[in-house]
Structure 1
Amino acid sequence: MLLYVPMERDPIEELYDRYAAMLYRLALSELKNREDAEDAVQAVFEKYVLAPHLFFSREHEKAWMLRVTMNQCRDMLRRRQQRYAVPLDEAADVGVQDAHSEVLDVLEKLPEDYRVPLTLYYFEDCKVEEIARALGLGPSAVKMRLKRGREMMKKELEGESGHD
């Protein structure tokens, strides 16, 4: 008689399954390049493996992953800017060609301080508290950035539609 004994999943594999897609979307929104976004996500998981951290909760773990991803993207953008200027056409490589592309275009043009919280809140379904931890801000600062970012987007979208 053969017995089936389920194998335990590797904790790193579980972590990857839980966060990779979200981190990739965040990195892609910042880096505007698929290969760089993949490299950024890989670097985040390498940092986790090389220096495992003890997290108090899944939210704490998620905040750490988001913060390290943002830092990795900033580092990569800094290095990219030092090497060469990035063509503006690369933003079109994201491939969004539906009714939301105008909104996404406006979102991409926002300063990072507003773009990142809006992206995390609306596209990654992060709570204000999670965004605050990930960005090292207070919840009220995140709420203010969300409010101002929405106002900036509304003004830009109304301005664009008013010219047609």
Structure 2
Amino acid sequence: MNDNSALYAFNKFGDTILRAAFAMTGSYPEAEDITQEVFLTLHAKPQDFESDEHMKAWLLRTAINRCRNLRKSARMRRDTPLDEALANTLSCEFTPRDNEIRERIAKLPERYSSVIFLYYYEEYNIREIASILGKSENTVSSLLQRGRKKLKTELEKEGYIYET
């Protein structure tokens, strides 16, 4: 890989990684930090990728791991002031319905939110998600099914009418 590989990766997949981090953290500033860390890691430790899809999968896996680490950290265990939460929500251009669903996805346990994000937002199939996450296809399928069910329950509690 040449010196421009991290720049190429950022130009090609930067928005995707930012969206993934935002979907998992629910915080635009945290998502920006994670995105920066992912591409700095690639710059510092260049990788050999078979294809752009392989590169994208590596970047997503790295971002998901960073989001997981952030969720475990004491920094994320503190309460976020309402004004900050609203600013984070409004900083990404979603409709109110999209915001509500995105917020619910971000509140799901990481094992569900990452699978739902990769399946619905990045349009990976179950086999590809299994490869990215290092899990079996059956596990990914079960997590996706359970995540959908949990998301549906949470949305219905808030009065959202779930359409099938």
Which residue is equivalent to 2:126?
128
Matched residue type, 2:142: M
CA contact (8 A) 1:59 1:130 kept: no
Distance 1:11 1:106, change over 3 A: closer
Gaps of 5+ in 1: 1-9
CA contact (8 A) 2:112 2:143 kept: yes
**Radius of gyration: which is bigger?**
1
Is residue 2:39 matched to residue 1:45? yes
CA contact (8 A) 2:22 2:28 kept: yes
Which residue is equivalent to 2:145?
147
- Mapped to 1, the partners of 2:66 and 2:99 lie a distance apart of 26
Identify which range, 12-21 or 95-104, moves more after superposition. 95-104
- TM normalised by structure 2 equals 0.78
Is residue 2:85 matched to residue 1:87? no
Gaps of 5+ in 2: none
Q: Where does 1:10-159 land on structure 2 (aligned, <5 Å)?
A: 10-79=4-73, 81=74, 85-87=78-80, 89=82, 90-92=84-86, 93-95=88-90, 96-159=94-157
SS state at 2:66 partner: helix
CA contact (8 A) 2:106 2:113 kept: yes
Identify which range, 82-91 or 66-75, moves more after superposition. 82-91
Matched residue type, 2:89: V
Q: CA RMSD in A?
A: 2.6
State the shift of 1:110 in Å. 1.4
Distance 1:58 1:83, change over 3 A: closer
- TM normalised by structure 1 equals 0.78
Number of aligned residues = 154
- Mapped to 2, the partners of 1:83 and 1:104 lie a distance apart of 18
- Mapped to 2, the partners of 1:15 and 1:87 lie a distance apart of 32
SS state at 2:79 partner: coil
- Mapped to 1, the partners of 2:38 and 2:140 lie a distance apart of 24
CA contact (8 A) 2:118 2:129 kept: yes
State the shift of 1:153 in Å. 1.7
User: Among the aligned pairs, what percent are the same residue?
Assistant: 32
